[in-house]
């Protein structure tokens, strides 16, 4: 059973049962009318007979019909004094205590500064450069209000609310497609391809779904517009179930988990790190941040601010210094002091692939020297509002470093959520985290089920 049937199969079954029940009732009524007309029986006419009932007894009205069959109707008489006045249930307004973080002090994303050539060093030797500043006095800083852990239902509602723009975009294009539907022919399949491409599903997947739709039409022969629309949605939904990708973060049950974050400037990479750090801290894990983006002006200050908000320490170095030395110190500190999670921010200088490649290779070698099975995740942050440009970024970064997952930020403000299908089916890289708001608790694990329901439930 595919993802579509698991999520919407019950709904379709209930609708079919209701339609069948209505049809049976109509046939039963028609049959009764027909038999009555054939038998020539008179229709019973009830006349009001006013009789005074005895005290404490129900009123019984016996009425004579125009035929030979008497009609008896019993009406329970309840004294008004016996009725207890019911109090209307009080409606408690549900207040969302989570508030977006007012980012008054966070440093705005700035253009990438002039690229500095990463100095070749003997990475087999411990990196010992300039002293590092370890920002640790987190307890003394003002903290944000702790937000309770959300229930599964609350997460589902959050997905649905955040995906309204994407759902509306899909709905508008599919409705426009169905408005011109006169029959299933070659022109119709071309229109399907165009509608999916414009919905940011991706060129290759759009062609694939149109071809599968041809086969499905031959098998099911759908005649109604809604049936054809459902087949298209079913094909899209099932792609997230059939790709075999693991959407869970590779968090170690025992020992240190090391995550590296990459992405171009301005996509929300550093913000995502802060939110994830806050989540793990609330789960009781000991978290450390490493500010390895030493080339962009203000990048370190921004991560330090998020460290303050999420109440976790940050290891930083000199601006313009070697990022690998920051990572070396952070890994050593995490091992020596028994941290559970190390989150490493890196530079997003995609326009200079050679330097970025050398920098990431050096960082990864230093990590593996201390922890052979690390890094456990290399996550690329992309902005959902950029649409197909996000796919291009993923392709280019995957050439620089082996990516294990995608973080889709700003999904709540985008109508281009269809990019999820393109990323997973074209690049075979799972989406693992999604940004559904600006607050500390607005980073969610990616759920194919919640995503499909949020996008398509109103269209079924």
Q: Are residues 222 and 282 in the same domain?
A: no
Q: Which of 227, 242, 257 is the last residue of a domain?
A: 242
Q: How far apart are CA 316 and CA 300, in angstroms?
A: 7
Q: Are residues 254 and 237 in the same domain?
A: no
Q: Which of 179, 212, 242 is the last residue of a domain?
A: 242
Q: Are residues 237 and 264 in the same domain?
A: no
Range of the domain at 393: 248-447
In a domain, 225, yes or no: yes
Q: Are residues 300 and 278 in the same domain?
A: yes
Q: Enter the pTM of the model.
A: 0.71
In a domain, 45, yes or no: no
Q: What is the pLDDT of residues 388-431, one digit of tens each?
A: 888 888 888 888 888 999 999 999 988 899 999 999 988 899 99
Read off the CATH number of the domain in which 439 is found: 3.40.50.300
Q: Are residues 232 and 160 in the same domain?
A: yes
Q: Which of 196, 212, 242 is the last residue of a domain?
A: 242
Q: Are residues 356 and 420 in the same domain?
A: yes
Q: What is the residue-level pLDDT of the chain in tens, covering all 460 positions?
A: 677 677 766 555 555 566 666 666 776 776 666 665 555 544 443 344 444 555 555 454 444 444 444 444 434 434 444 444 444 444 444 444 344 444 444 444 444 434 433 444 444 444 545 545 555 544 333 344 445 567 888 889 999 999 999 999 999 998 888 887 777 778 888 899 999 999 999 898 999 998 888 888 777 777 788 888 888 899 899 888 878 899 999 999 999 999 999 998 889 999 999 999 999 999 999 999 999 998 887 889 999 999 999 999 999 988 888 999 999 999 999 999 999 999 999 988 766 677 878 888 899 999 999 999 999 999 999 999 988 888 888 888 888 888 999 999 999 988 899 999 999 988 899 999 999 988 888 999 999 999 999 999 888 8
In a domain, 167, yes or no: yes
Q: Which pLDDT score is estimated for 94?
A: 44
Read off the CATH number of the domain in which 224 is found: 1.20.120.140
In a domain, 354, yes or no: yes
In a domain, 361, yes or no: yes
Q: Which pLDDT score is estimated for 150?
A: 73
Closest CA to 378 of 363, 388, 392, 358: 363
Q: Which pLDDT score is estimated for 105?
A: 41
Q: Are residues 383 and 324 in the same domain?
A: yes
In a domain, 19, yes or no: no
Q: Are residues 366 and 219 in the same domain?
A: no
Q: Are residues 350 and 385 in the same domain?
A: yes
Q: Which pLDDT score is estimated for 396?
A: 85
Q: Are residues 191 and 272 in the same domain?
A: no
Q: Which pLDDT score is estimated for 125?
A: 47
Q: Which pLDDT score is estimated for 69?
A: 43
Q: Which pLDDT score is estimated for 16?
A: 56
Q: Per the structure, how many domains does the chain have?
A: 2
In a domain, 143, yes or no: no
Q: Which pLDDT score is estimated for 305?
A: 95
Q: Which pLDDT score is estimated for 135?
A: 57
Q: Are residues 351 and 407 in the same domain?
A: yes
Q: Which pLDDT score is estimated for 65?
A: 44
Token pair, residue 100, equals: 């977006």
Q: How far apart are CA 425 and CA 365, in angstroms?
A: 30
Q: Are residues 258 and 387 in the same domain?
A: yes
In a domain, 5, yes or no: no
């Amino acid at each position: 059973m595919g993802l579509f049937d698991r999520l919407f199969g019950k709904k379709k079954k209930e609708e079919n049962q209701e339609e069948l029940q209505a049809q049976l009732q109509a046939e039963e009524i028609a049959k009764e009318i027909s038999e009555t007309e054939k038998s020539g029986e008179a229709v019973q006419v009830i006349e009001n007979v006013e009789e005074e009932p005895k005290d404490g007894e129900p009123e019984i009205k016996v009425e004579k019909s125009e035929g030979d069959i008497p009609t008896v109707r019993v009406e329970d008489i309840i004294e008004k004094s016996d009725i207890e006045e019911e109090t209307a249930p009080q409606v408690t307004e549900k207040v969302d205590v989570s508030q977006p973080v007012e980012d008054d002090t966070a440093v705005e994303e700035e253009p990438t500064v002039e690229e500095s050539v990463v100095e070749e060093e003997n990475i087999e030797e411990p990196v010992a450069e300039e002293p590092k500043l370890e920002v640790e006095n987190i307890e003394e800083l003002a903290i944000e209000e702790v937000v309770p852990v959300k229930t599964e239902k609350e997460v589902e509602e959050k997905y649905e609310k955040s995906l309204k723009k994407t759902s509306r975009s899909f709905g508008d294009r599919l409705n426009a497609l169905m408005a011109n539907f006169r029959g299933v022919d070659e022109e119709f399949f071309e229109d399907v391809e165009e509608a999916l491409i414009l919905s940011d599903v991706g060129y290759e997947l759009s062609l694939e779904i149109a071809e599968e739709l041809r086969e499905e039409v031959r098998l099911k022969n759908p005649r109604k517009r809604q049936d054809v629309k459902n087949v298209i949605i079913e094909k899209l939904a099932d792609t997230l179930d059939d790709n075999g990708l693991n959407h869970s973060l590779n968090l170690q049950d025992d020992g240190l988990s090391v995550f590296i974050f990459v992405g171009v400037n301005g996509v929300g990479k550093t913000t995502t790190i802060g939110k994830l750090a806050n989540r793990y801290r609330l789960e009781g894990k000991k978290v450390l941040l490493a500010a390895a983006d030493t080339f962009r002006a203000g990048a370190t200050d921004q991560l330090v601010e998020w460290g303050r908000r999420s109440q976790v320490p940050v290891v930083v170095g000199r601006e313009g210094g070697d990022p690998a030395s920051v990572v070396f110190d952070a890994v050593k500190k995490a091992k020596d002091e028994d941290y559970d999670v190390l989150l490493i921010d890196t530079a997003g200088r995609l326009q200079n692939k050679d330097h970025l490649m050398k920098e990431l290779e050096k960082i990864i070698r230093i990590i593996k020297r201390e922890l052979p099975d690390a890094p456990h995740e290399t996550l690329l942050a992309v902005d959902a509002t950029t649409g197909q440009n996000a796919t291009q970024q993923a392709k280019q970064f995957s050439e620089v470093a082996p990516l294990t997952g995608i973080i889709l930020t700003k999904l709540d403000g985008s109508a281009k959520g269809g990019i999820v299908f393109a990323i997973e089916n074209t690049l075979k890289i799972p989406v693992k985290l999604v940004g559904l708001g600006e607050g500390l608790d607005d980073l969610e694990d990616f759920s194919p089920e919640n995503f499909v329901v949020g996008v398509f439930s109103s269209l079924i």
